[in-house]
Amino acid sequence: MAMTNFEDAFLDTETLVKKQDELEKFYLSNVENLSFINDEGLTITATRLIVKDPIAKIVIIPGRGEIAHKFYEFFYTLSQLKIGAIVCFGRGQATSTRLLENQQKCHIEHFEDLAKDVTFILDKLKIKDYKLLAFSLGGLISMDIIKNSPNKPSKAALIAPYIWPYFRLNKAILCGIIRLLGSLPFTQRMYTPHGKAYKKVPFERNIHSHNEVRYNNYHEYYRIHPNYTIGGPTFKFVKEALLKQLELFKTKFEFTIPVYVQAPTEDKVVNTNESRRFFLKHHLDPIPPKFELIEDSFHDIINESDEFRIKCLAKALAFLVEQD
């Protein structure tokens, strides 16, 4: 399938507005919500896009705090391309068991549990030799799976992967503060300084998307379904993510599967320079990762403006689905 065919399957913003009701009905009719109980007694969930006679199937690991409905427009495009998908949610995310009494706090005890929950879903569904598409925090979870899990994807496309946080602070000082506050009993379950319960940021002040229609659609769904919302991370969550990031930077590891990375240049969530440095450091690996900058884009490619999201997502799908 040619790249132009992939791009042609995507909706521009004008068509999205016209088809909004149709897309909502499509979502309700063509997804299946799955739920499993793991050996810890936690509920781990996934959402499957049902496509008749798919030419390919992909596994999606979303970003922190994201839910299946965020992908409703993307699901519609995938269905036009005859690509099936399943979105996996580890503990603390979406409708999977949240770990604290205050369910607005995004918390984790061990970062490895997120990868374990994803592979738990894959094992339950007997999914092997899969293609992986991941966003933001899902990119860090994916790297944990690629590095440490026996059930690795055959290919992975990582969009704005959370390899290092965007933060204007010396790395050593940042690590010291996060390690300390993420370990102390009275601070590890606290929000970080910018953290709080979910609240929509006005579009003019947001750092995630240049597209007002998609941004407002995303948050309007949360207004109607407040039980799906989740707020900022705890210090323990940030510490666990940091330890996984440091593991990737400091331990010996080589890429042995094809990996394609897209990194927005205007990302204010992920430090794109650190991400670029990490992946380019592996240029002599058995299968070096392919790294591409997305000029002028914000972090949230799924909800970005047409000039960013269509080309980026089409390229990611082509990488995953087309034969080498």
pLDDT digits (tens, 9 = 90+) for 23-54: 999 999 999 999 999 999 999 999 999 999 99
Angle, helix 171-181 to helix 235-250, in steps of 10 degrees: 130
Q: Alpha-carbon distance 285 to 100, whole Å?
A: 41
Give the pLDDT score at 168: 80
Mean predicted confidence (pLDDT) in 80-106: 97
Mean predicted confidence (pLDDT) in 196-210: 97
Give the pLDDT score at 167: 87
The pLDDT mean for the chain works out to 96
- Tokens, residue 47: 């959402």
pTM of the model: 0.97
Would you place residue 114 in the very low, low, confident or very high pLDDT band (cuts 50, 70, 90)?
very high
CB 263 within 8 A of CB 134: no
Q: With CA atoms as reference, report the closest residue to 141 among 103, 111, 185.
A: 111
Mean predicted confidence (pLDDT) in 265-275: 97
Domain enclosing residue 161, as ranges: 3-321
4 pLDDT more than 70:
no
CB 69 within 8 A of CB 149: no
274 pLDDT more than 90:
yes
Give the pLDDT score at 323: 73
Q: Alpha-carbon distance 135 to 206, whole Å?
A: 18
Give the pLDDT score at 171: 86
Would you place residue 194 in the very low, low, confident or very high pLDDT band (cuts 50, 70, 90)?
confident
Q: Alpha-carbon distance 189 to 198, whole Å?
A: 16
Q: Alpha-carbon distance 218 to 299, whole Å?
A: 15
Task: Return the DSSP state at 48.
Answer: E
169 pLDDT more than 90:
no
19 pLDDT more than 90:
yes
Number of domain units in the chain: 1
324 pLDDT more than 60:
no
Give the pLDDT score at 128: 94
Give the pLDDT score at 3: 56
Distances (CA, A) of 311 to 10, 108, 126, 301: 9, 34, 32, 10
Would you place residue 83 in the very low, low, confident or very high pLDDT band (cuts 50, 70, 90)?
very high
CATH value at residue 127? 3.40.50.1820
Q: What angle do CA 56, 59, 65 make, to 5 degrees?
A: 145
HEC readout, 69-93: HHHHHHHHHHHHCCEEEEEEECCCC
The owner of tokens 């496509």 is 51
